[in-house]
Amino acid sequence: MAVDLELVRRIADAAEEADGAAPLDEATWLALRNRPDSVRSWVRDEGVALLVGEDLTLVVHPSARGRGLGTELAAAAVPPTGPVEAWSHGDHPAAARLAERHGLARARELWVMRRPSSVPLPDLPVREGVTVRGYEPSDAEAVVAVNAAAFAAHPEQGAMDLANLHERMAEPWFDPAGLLVAVDSTSGELLGFHWTKQHSPTLGEVYVVGISPAAQGRGLGKLLTLAGLHHLVGKGVDEVLLYVESGNAPAIAVYGGLGFEHAASDTHVQYRRSSPR
């Protein structure tokens, strides 16, 4: 039976309003909309559990919390053995308790960093031999290749292929002008990219910044990040956010230098069970 997307949206929207963070990530929504057969689901009127491969999502409507519904959904959806991963979009004690009960350990922390657009941006620096421009359809394969190389150790982002790229580009928020690429001015080789996202008229995101390993050390990460920020501020957003691994000190330093700040409550936690119970 197909999942009732309107019901899932209603529950997710209510949870986001109560918690300040969206409980379903983009990959789960893409799977629900484009590959529904890949999603196992346990749906109640006030809660839902979704399993896509090893990735578990569980959401309970705020009005139904504290009644055991989360426990019931987890008991049904968490496989009794084998690997499974789940994100707590916000460091919620209830999520930690559920995870421990099912043998999932705290594995990763993802920081949300935010920057108000009222803070002035530095001017864009000039990089000799590098041109920054908007995405063109002929860039697709190069973007996928640079992304795979840049995120070879990243379990989610590094897996993006052409089909997934086109899925993301089919989303309502996609704007080709907001996917900025840095190319070698002589050869035209794509060196890196910054994909921005505009969630609403007031909120933008540093969605993905990927630099080819062969082009590392040339300051392209900061250049592209800054170019994307200028783009988003030019669109009129009041705030820009980004997600970064809590242990990625070099990236945090770059983002901090551009005016991004992190609050402890703005932390997403991944729980993981890697081996059979």
Binding site, residues? 26, 58-60, 156, 197, 205, 209-211, 216-222, 243
Q: Three-state SS across the chain?
A: CCCCHHHHHHHHHHHHHHHCCCCCCHHHHHHHHHCHHHEEEEEECCEEEEEECCEEEEEECHHHCCCCHHHHHHHHHCCCCCCEEEEECCCCHHHHHHHHHCCCEEEEEEEEEEEECCCCCCCCCCCCCEEEEECCHHHHHHHHHHHHHHCCCCCCHHHCCHHHHHHHHCCCCCCHHHEEEEEECCCCCEEEEEEEEECCCCEEEEEEEEECHHHCCCCHHHHHHHHHHHHHHHCCCCEEEEEEECCCHHHHHHHHHCCCEEEEEEEEEEEEECCCC
| Pick from 136, 213, 138: nearest CA to 180 | 136
Measured between alpha carbons, how far is 29 from 241 in angstroms, rounded to an integer? 20
Q: From the annotation, which residues make up the binding site for acetyl-CoA?
A: 58-60, 209-211, 216-222
Q: CA angle, 25 as apex, 182 and 249 as ends, to 5°?
A: 55
